[in-house]
C-alpha cells in the first residue's frame, strides 16, 4: 500500500475533541466559549464601579460603545438604532474578538498529531478559530434573520411588510399602473429569494475570509521549515486588519438590511391655500 499523504491546509470542519454526556464539543466551540466568557468578564469589570469621570478600562469601554452608537446612528438613524443597537454592537465586538483570538499563538498549533515529511503536523488541534467554523457564522446569520423579521414586523406591521416588498412605488394611472403592479410583484418575488439567501451569504463571507486567512498563515509557517517562525509575522498584521474589516462588514451589512426594510418614505406635506 502507498504511504498516506498529508492533507494540505486546515480541515474544513471543526474537530470533535470531547463528548460529555453524549454532547459533542468541538475545538471551535471551546474558543467560542472562551471569547464569550472573556467579553462577559471584561464588561463586568469595566462597569462594576462606574465613575462620573471615566478612567482606565471604563473609559475604553465607554469609548467603544459610544463610538459604535454614533457610527450606527449616522447610518440607520436615531429611532432604529435605539431598537437594534444591542445586537449590532454585540455582534461586532464578538466577531472582532473571536477573529483576533484565533490569531493568538497556540490556536491551531496545540493538539495531537504525527511526524510528517515536513516536521510535526497537528492532526487534531485543541483550539480552532471560532469563525473558521461555518456552524458559528451560520448561527449568527440565522439569529440576525430572526431579529430582522421581528424588527420589520414591529416597524411596518404584517401588511406594511408585504407592501414594502410587493406594493408598487410612485404614482401611476391606467395601463401604466397595471404594468407597475406586475413589475413590482415580480421584483418582490426576487427580493424574497434574495432575503432567504442572506444568511448563507453572510455566513460564508465571514467563514471564507477567516478560514482562508488561517490557511495562509499555516502555509507560510511550513513554506520554509527553518523560517516557519518568521514568515507568518507580516501576515499576522494583515489578518489583524482583516479581522477588523470582516467584523465591520458583517455589522454594516446587517444594519443596512435592517434599514432597507424598516425605513419609511416621507410623504410630501399637503399644500394649504391661504384665503
List per-residue pLDDT tens for the chain, 275 residues long.
343 444 556 788 888 988 998 899 999 999 999 999 999 999 999 998 888 888 889 999 999 999 999 999 999 999 999 999 999 999 999 999 999 999 988 887 787 877 666 566 777 888 999 999 999 999 999 999 999 999 999 998 998 888 888 887 767 677 777 888 888 889 889 999 999 999 999 999 999 999 999 888 888 877 777 777 788 888 889 999 999 999 999 999 999 999 998 876 544 433 344 44
Of 111, 101, 106, 130, the residue nearest 28 (C-alpha) = 130
**Are the CB atoms for 122 and 109 separated by under 8 Å?**
yes
**For residues 35 and 130, is the Cβ–Cβ distance under 8 A?**
yes
Q: Choose among 14, 204, 18, 218: nearest CA to 103.
A: 218
* 0.85 surpassed by pTM: yes
What are the φ and ψ backbone dihedral angles of 112, each rounded to 5 degrees?
A: -105, 145
Cα dist. 109→241, 250, 258 in Å? 22, 28, 39
* Number of continuous H segments (helices) and E segments (strands) in the chain: 6, 4
| Residue where the block lists cell 432575503 | 195
Amino acid at each position: 500500500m502507498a504511504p498516506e499523504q498529508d492533507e494540505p491546509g486546515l480541515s474544513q470542519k471543526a474537530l470533535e475533541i470531547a463528548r460529555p454526556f453524549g454532547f459533542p464539543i468541538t475545538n471551535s466551540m471551546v474558543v467560542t466559549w472562551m471569547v464569550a466568557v472573556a467579553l462577559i468578564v471584561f464588561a463586568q469589570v469595566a462597569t462594576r464601579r462606574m465613575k462620573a469621570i471615566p478612567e482606565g478600562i471604563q473609559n475604553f469601554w465607554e469609548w467603544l460603545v459610544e463610538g459604535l452608537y454614533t457610527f450606527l446612528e449616522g447610518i440607520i438613524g436615531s429611532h432604529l438604532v435605539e431598537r437594534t443597537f444591542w445586537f449590532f454592537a454585540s455582534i461586532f465586538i464578538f466577531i472582532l474578538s473571536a477573529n483576533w483570538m484565533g490569531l493568538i499563538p497556540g490556536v491551531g498549533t496545540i493538539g495531537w498529531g504525527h511526524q510528517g515529511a515536513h516536521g510535526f503536523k497537528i492532526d487534531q488541534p485543541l483550539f480552532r478559530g471560532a469563525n473558521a467554523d461555518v456552524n458559528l457564522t451560520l448561527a449568527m446569520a440565522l439569529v440576525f434573520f430572526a431579529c430582522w423579521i421581528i424588527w420589520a414586523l414591529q416597524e411596518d406591521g404584517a401588511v406594511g411588510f408585504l407592501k414594502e416588498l410587493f406594493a408598487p412605488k410612485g404614482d401611476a394611472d391606467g395601463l401604466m399602473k397595471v404594468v407597475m403592479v406586475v413589475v413590482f410583484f415580480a421584483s418582490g418575488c426576487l427580493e424574497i429569494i434574495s432575503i432567504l439567501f442572506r444568511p448563507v451569504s453572510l455566513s460564508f463571507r465571514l467563514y471564507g475570509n477567516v478560514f482562508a486567512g488561517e490557511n495562509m498563515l499555516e502555509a507560510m509557517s511550513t513554506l520554509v521549515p527553518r523560517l516557519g517562525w518568521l514568515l507568518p509575522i507580516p501576515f499576522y498584521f494583515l489578518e489583524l486588519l482583516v479581522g477588523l474589516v470582516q467584523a465591520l462588514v458583517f455589522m454594516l451589512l446587517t444594519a443596512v438590511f435592517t434599514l432597507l426594510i424598516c425605513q419609511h418614505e416621507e410623504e410630501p406635506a399637503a399644500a394649504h391655500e391661504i384665503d
